[in-house]
Amino acid sequence: MLDIAFIREFPDLVKAGAQKKRLHVDVDRLLAVDRERRALITVIENLRAERNRTSKAVSTSAPEKRETLLAETRAVAEQLRQSEAALVPLDAEFERLMLQVPNVPAADVPEGLTDADSVEVRRWGDPPTFAFPPRDHVELGETLDLLDIRRAVRIAGTRTYYLKNEAVLLDLAVLRFTLDHMVRKGYTPMLVPHLVKDEAMLGTAYFPGGEEQAYRVEKDELNLIGTSEVPLTAYHYDEILSESELPKRYVGLSACYRREAGTYGRDTRGLYRIHQFHKVEQVVVCVADEQVSIDEHESIVRNAEEVLQALQLPYRVVNVCGGDLGLPQVKKYDIETWMPSRQAYAETHSASRFYDFQARRLKLRYRDRQGRTRYVHTLNNTVIASPRILIPILEVYQQEDGTVVVPEALRPYMGGLERIEPKSQGKRPGHAASRHR
């Protein structure tokens, strides 16, 4: 959340930021509640001091004055009780409104309402051309016995899938290749809890507002994560780190679960918008310095770009417009990878910076070299998400004969397999005959 002192000083900036994000929050009501709350807290503090004074006076007073002082003490105690009771709903409203205030977007965030208004920053690689009618990933997956959606829907409902044969190896290969890439860069690898308490969802700003997207285990009051950003960023919840420890760089591998509420009819074919997937996610915790955060933001985007370049997948980076930013982001880059079946770039990665917005919610601080306690800055980025990334891999690397070439970078993780071919009787993944070009 934002610092209330910042909101008091720059209410128009906060209002403009909310407008740019197309989010509604009543800043004027928040400030009115803040004033009333602070005034009542002052009254309560004065009453507590008065109660302490009269209580102490009773114990040292002469008998003839004691009854009068006791009456004063009771009157003060009753005023205090009423004032403390009046503070409870004010505190609740203040907290509710504070959680609704969005972070102020950076000045270079484009105006706009949807992802169509985001601005391209750069692109890499050329979209492939085919001398034959290319197939989409679903047709390829079914023809090569890599994918079974029909049976998955029968037992698990829509937006589900089975991966089979080489697709399983490909999925695990791209995850492991990406994880190794990040470990070589000095990131600490983490396997994280998939079920988290509400505090972690509130702390990372997925709640309130994202409840409809989360799968909730009501009996245990836990939530399935939609990204390992949540447990990774909350890893140091309510801790005070030292400046010498920063930056912390974590890379998490996890399954992720999203309800995809509100997306009925969108991307229903195949593996693009599904309920369960895997992600390799990078999270950075750094000092409270704007330029440091900006530099870290560019760095985490480069990490993901390096993976796509190693896989030889064409992509572009876009600066996400205000209307497509979430509540907590200062700025977000999306990486969109070319998908031949769409004849378009489609989002496969998101990289966000938050400054101290998440840290304030998580009570995540550090002690600087001058001994002051400050809130850290946080950032995160998808390094890879699968099976979504299998869409461009299968479609870009398809051949006229119906086979799919395995990206060279992934072959060491697939036993040297170079090409995925139609199955013949008795031939399974890894068979020596599948290793020729």
Catalytically active residues, by annotation? 258, 273, 347, 350, 388
Please, which contacts does 288-291 make with residues 24 or more away whose CB atoms are closer than 8 Å? 288/355, 288/356, 288/366, 288/374, 288/375, 288/376, 288/377, 289/377, 290/355
Q: Any residues with CB less than 8 A from the CB of 172 and at least 6 apart, and which?
A: 413
CA dihedral 339, 343, 347, 349 (to 10 degrees): 40
* Whole-number Å distance between alpha carbons of 362 and 339: 38
Residue 208 structure tokens: 């309130």
Distance CA 168, CA 181 (A): 20
Q: Please give the angle made by the CA atoms of 83, 88 and 90, to the nearest 5 degrees.
A: 95
> What is the distance between the alpha carbons of residues 337 and 312, in angstroms, rounded to a whole number?
11
Beta carbons of 283 and 200 less than 8 angstroms apart: no
Tell me which DSSP letter residue 398 carries: B
- Token readout for 167 is 């697709």
Give which of 102, 119, 96, 121 is closest to 20, Cα–Cα: 102
Residue 397 is given by DSSP the state T
C-alpha 380/C-alpha 282 separation (Å) is 5
Strands 365-367 and 373-375: antiparallel
DSSP 3-state percent helix, strand, coil across the chain (nearest 5): 45, 20, 35
Q: How many residues does the chain have?
A: 437
